[in-house]
């Protein structure tokens, strides 16, 4: 469904970010959507019903027990007469209520009564976002099929810095468009990993290629699309993990609910991974360039002396570096092996050489269509043996991999 003909029910919770929801309402209406808003009591401390009514062009709903509201439109009807419910800001309190099915006010009642999908844009202090209770609630809600956009990293109104800032209005608009475009379903997609399998775990994933500059305008790269790494980050978040995705330059969108760090070179990727530690699980899905040009120069020019010679030096091996850490080694380190022949044999050697716990090996010969494609056929190579999976969508490979990782983590803890 298109945003231009969509009916959005916007639930505005009580957070400083509520001012951004006024802009969100405007952006949604600019694109043709009808927006009805519900303002919680806490939300009224931050913005007024009047400004929300002015920007949505509709009456604002505030009270569960208001006779006027009920006479005009009951809360059940309000929650169903929408194509999508958007909670922005989704406070820790609203998420906790929704995850437990509480229905003590209009906003939480609507969330419980709806038969439509819900997209939440969380906003809260970073300690509240990282608190085990919020982690559990978000994992439960994801498992129930709730969609998330953000929160982003950044400076917070309370003076701290970290994850918890509400996504920007246009990011939320993009997430609304994506939610409307995918077939409506209340139940979690069949591909969602077992809810909460990684609840509270910290996961760092690398994805995509790296670009190694030759001069200010040229670079060395490879054909990695980032589809598999991004799908893994999304699946880990769906399973309740707190995910940092360190991505090289790709054309795929940032997965919702994942903290994404964009980098270009292998050295930047390593630095971003090290900054994201400690974590429980490290998954190196990026196709990191093995070499970089020794010295970056001015833009190379054609000359009578012939083509330039590029002196290459080796890049750091991110996977091996992280696997070799002493104090901060993640409990589980997973690498990829993209090979064009003897896939399993090479993967076994890589497992030993890079001292990781698991290698996801695949054949990337051009005829397989795996590099850049939507499917993947992998072997899971670990100390205990090799598992071969049939050709599957990359999203499904990601979901199964997250389940396999969760099982190994459980085994390791016993």
Pattern 298-337, ligand C5P, x by CB under 6 A: -----------------x-xxx---------------xxx
**Does the footprint of ligand C5P cover residue 266 (CB under 6 A)?**
yes
Contact between 177 and ligand C5P (CB under 6 A)? no
For tokens 């699946």, the residue is 235
Taking Cα atoms as reference points, which of 78, 89, 158 lies closest to residue 119?
A: 89
Residues 6+ apart with CB under 8 A from 326: none
Q: Which is nearer to ligand C5P, 148 or 219 (CB)?
A: 219
Instruction: Quote the least distance from Cβ 266 to ligand C5P, whole Å.
Output: 5
Count other C-beta atoms under 10 Å from residue 133's C-beta: 12
Q: Decide if residue 248 touches ligand C5P (CB under 6 A).
A: no
Closest CA to 351 of 385, 398, 397: 385
Q: How far is CA 50 from CA 23, 169, 278, 331, in A?
A: 14, 20, 46, 52
Listed residue (356, 321, 322, 306) closest to 336, CA to CA = 356
- Rounded to the nearest whole angstrom, what is the least distance from the CB of residue 401 to ligand C5P in the complex? 13
Name the catalytic one among 158, 170, 312, 407. 158
Task: State how far the Cα of 233 lies from the Cα of 97, in Å rounded to an integer.
Answer: 27
Nearest residue to 232 (alpha-carbon basis) of 196, 194, 250, 205 = 205
Instruction: Pick the binder of ligand C5P from 176, 284, 361, 398 (CB under 6 A).
Output: 284
Phi (first) and psi of residue 154, to 5 degrees: 155, -175
288 is a site residue for ligand C5P (CB under 6 A): yes
Which of residues 387 and 410 has its CB atom nearest to ligand C5P in the complex?
Answer: 387
Smallest gap from Cβ 174 to ligand C5P, in A, equals 28
Choices 93-101, 240-248, 255-263, 281-289 (CB under 6 A): range interacting with ligand C5P: 281-289
Question: Looking at beta carbons, which residue is closest to ligand C5P?
Answer: 318
CB of 275 to ligand C5P, least distance (A): 15
Residue 312's DSSP bridge partners are 293
5 burial class (0-12, 13-18, 19+ CB within 10 angstroms)? exposed
SS3 of 409, please?
Answer: helix
Residue 363 binds to ligand C5P (criterion: CB under 6 A)? no
For β-strands 147-148 and 34-39, DSSP reports them as: unpaired
Per the annotation, the verdict on 158 as an active-site residue is: yes
Q: Based on CB atoms, which residue is closest to ligand C5P, 119 or 283? A: 283
The nearest distance, CB 346 to ligand C5P, in angstroms, is 8
Question: Rounded distance, CA 255 to CA 285, Å?
Answer: 15
Task: Tell me, residue by residue from 185 to 224, as one string, x for binding to ligand C5P by CB under 6 A and - for no binding.
Answer: ---------------------x------------------
Query: Site residues (CB under 6 A) for ligand C5P?
Result: 206, 266, 284, 286, 288, 290, 315, 317-319, 335-337, 350
Just list the catalytic residues. Answer: 158
């Amino acid at each position: 469904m298109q945003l231009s003909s969509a009916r959005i029910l916007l639930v505005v919770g009580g957070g400083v970010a509520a001012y951004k929801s006024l802009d969100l309402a405007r952006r949604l209406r600019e694109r043709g959507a009808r927006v009805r808003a519900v303002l919680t009591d806490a939300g009224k401390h931050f913005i007024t019903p009047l400004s929300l009514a002015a920007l949505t062009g509709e009456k604002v709903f505030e009270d569960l027990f208001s006779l006027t509201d009920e006479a005009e439109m009951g809360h059940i009807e309000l929650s169903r007469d929408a194509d999508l419910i958007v909670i922005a800001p989704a406070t820790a309190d609203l998420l906790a209520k929704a995850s437990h099915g509480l229905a003590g006010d209009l906003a939480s009642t609507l969330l419980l009564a709806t038969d439509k999908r819900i997209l939440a844009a969380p906003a809260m202090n970073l300690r509240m976002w990282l608190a085990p209770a919020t982690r559990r609630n978000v994992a439960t809600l994801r498992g129930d099929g709730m969609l998330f956009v953000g929160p982003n990293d950044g400076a917070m109104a309370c003076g701290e810095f970290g994850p918890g800032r509400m996504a920007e209005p246009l990011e939320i608009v993009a997430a609304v468009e994506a939610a409307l475009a995918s077939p409506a379903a209340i139940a979690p997609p069949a591909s969602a990993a077992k809810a909460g399998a990684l609840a509270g775990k910290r996961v760092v994933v690398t994805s995509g290629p790296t670009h190694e500059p030759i001069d200010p305008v040229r670079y060395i790269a490879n054909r990695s699309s980032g589809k598999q790494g991004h799908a893994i980050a999304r699946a880990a978040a769906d399973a309740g993990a707190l995910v940092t995705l360190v991505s090289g330059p790709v054309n795929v969108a940032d997965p919702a609910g994942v903290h994404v760090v964009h980098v270009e070179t292998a050295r930047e990727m390593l630095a971003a991974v090290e900054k994201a530690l400690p974590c429980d699980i490290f998954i190196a899905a990026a196709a990191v360039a093995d070499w970089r040009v020794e010295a970056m120069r001015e833009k190379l020019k054609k000359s009578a002396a012939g083509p330039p010679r590029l002196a290459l030096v080796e890049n750091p091996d991110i996977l091996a570096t992280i696997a070799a850490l002493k104090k901060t080694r993640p409990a589980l380190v997973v690498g990829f092996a993209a090979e064009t022949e003897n896939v399993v044999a090479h993967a076994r050697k890589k497992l030993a050489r890079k001292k990781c716990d698991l290698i996801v090996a695949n054949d990337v010969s051009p005829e397989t269509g795996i590099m850049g494609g939507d499917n993947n056929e992998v072997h899971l190579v670990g100390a205990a043996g090799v598992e071969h999976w049939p050709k599957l969508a990359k999203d499904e490979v990601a979901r199964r991999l997250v389940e396999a990782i969760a099982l190994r983590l459980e085994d390791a803890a016993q």
